[in-house]
Amino acid sequence: AASPHVTAASIMMNAARQAMRRLGRGGAVAVCTGLGAFSAVAMGTSVAVAEDSSYTKILEISERLQRIEKSLNVKATALKEKFGAGFPGWTKENKSLVKKHLTTDMYEELKDKMTPNGFTLDRAIQSAVDNQDSGVGLYAGDEESYAVFAPLFDAVIEDYHGGYTPSSKHVSNMDATQLKGNADPEGNYVISTRIRVGRNIRGLGLSPGCTRAQRREVERLVTNGLSQLKGDLSGNYYSLATMTEADRKQLVADHFLFKKGDRFLESAGANRDWPESRGIFHNQEKTFLVWVNEEDQMRIISMQKGGDAKEVFERLARGIAAIEDQVKAAGREFAHNDHLGYIHSCPTNCGTGMRASVHVKLPNVGKHPNFKKWCNQLRLQPRGIHGEHSETTGGVYDISNKERLGKSEVALVQTMIDGVQTLINAEKALASGSPLPSALE
């Protein structure tokens, strides 16, 4: 039996940490819990927890115990640990922003704090711990994570978003009429245009920290709202868990089907209960899509062939407004504030949560040694057409806005239009031996 001065949850949390340090994440811990009772046995690689022997699951159980104890007004002191005993072990090669900004003092200040939804600092940084090659490594389990763990989130956000301070204010503008120009009016270079944003509903946990019930409620709310869309936005929802084989094959052929998150999202806890409560909505024309419960609760996407970004953005704006109307009709609202804009599970996406991109043919520009430098000058992000870290195919690149936070949606789409136009002009110049555009000289 546990000491009357120590809670079951705190014993469990400490034992889980110690066991995982001894075994690594490949081991398992057999757990028997109850208020005032705990036993743990290291079992190598065997599965001993009812559904999930992962460290994340153990932490979830301990956090639920803490909430129960709090509701029962259990008063107890936490187990004493040596200062810094739980601080993550980093490799020399680790370049993550979590490693850069998380000090031992900060860890000690935040490690025992918990959001109302039960999310902890250790869960927020777990992806950086598991994946030492992370670039950022930090995830929010709910909107409150940004406040409860503000010392770390603020530092990472300021670093990643180029000096965006805790007192900075975000701006939003979805007025498509303010956009000017077309990057490729003749249609010789831009193959397709795609603009997406993320949205999450206030009061329901983000993917790394939501409960199973919250994820189901997100799907219920969103799909009910999507079923009310009219005109060119109307369409059908396909659940990943129950779709037919014929629907699955068609979604794969259309390149609409999203997969289980990568190892970074896996460690963050975003893949739990896969594929339950996940799905895809698209309109009849296949130019408007919504991914439900992927990395964020909603990924809202507008796309079409060619380079008319204004038309793509206008459809996106209408779709977002229509979905927000349905969310409000259900008594909910999007998670948003004046500082961080629209809240996302990854702090790199806060603000607009928007990625405006084109697939564009740049065979000569892409081979130029200054290609990445030019993109950086133009505040653009280049990647292969198969996603981040992929290589180009046939000189075709995915080019998008680099920034997310502190600038409006209209401003970022305009940056993409102007920048891609400059790169196309450079492509023409390199092909003909003419001088490069002045913006790149």
Q: Active-site residues: which are they?
A: 196, 295, 299, 346, 348, 355, 383, 388
Alpha helical stretches, state H, 162-278: 212-226, 245-253, 263-268
Residues 315 and 305: their CA atoms lie apart, in Å, by 14
157: which 2 tokens? 């956000």
Torsion of CA 409, 410, 416, 419, to 10 degrees: -140
How far out from the chain centre does Cα 274 lie? Answer: 16
141: which 2 tokens? 């389990």
Residues 288 and 237: their CA atoms lie apart, in Å, by 12
Residues 47 and 198: their CA atoms lie apart, in Å, by 36
Give the start-end residues of each E strand in 269-391.
Answer: 279-283, 288-292, 298-305, 336-337, 341-342, 355-361, 380-383
Residues 225 and 329: their CA atoms lie apart, in Å, by 9
Are 79 and 6 in contact, with CB atoms under 8 Å apart?
Answer: yes
- What angle, rounded to 10 degrees, do the helices at 121-130 and 150-160 form? 50
Burial 335-355 (b: 16+ CB within 10 A, else e): bbeebbbbbbbbbbbbbbbbb
- With 0-12 CB in 10 A as exposed, 13-18 as middle and 19+ as buried, what is 119? buried
Are 250 and 242 in contact, with CB atoms under 8 Å apart?
Answer: no
Q: 336-337 and 29-34 as β-strands: parallel, antiparallel, unpaired?
A: unpaired
Show Cβ contacts of residue 285 under 8 Å, excluding neighbours closer than 6 positions.
232
Residues 358 and 194: their CA atoms lie apart, in Å, by 6
Q: What angle is formed at CA 349 by the lines to CA 344 and CA 355, rounded to 5 degrees?
A: 125
Beta bridge partners of 38: 33
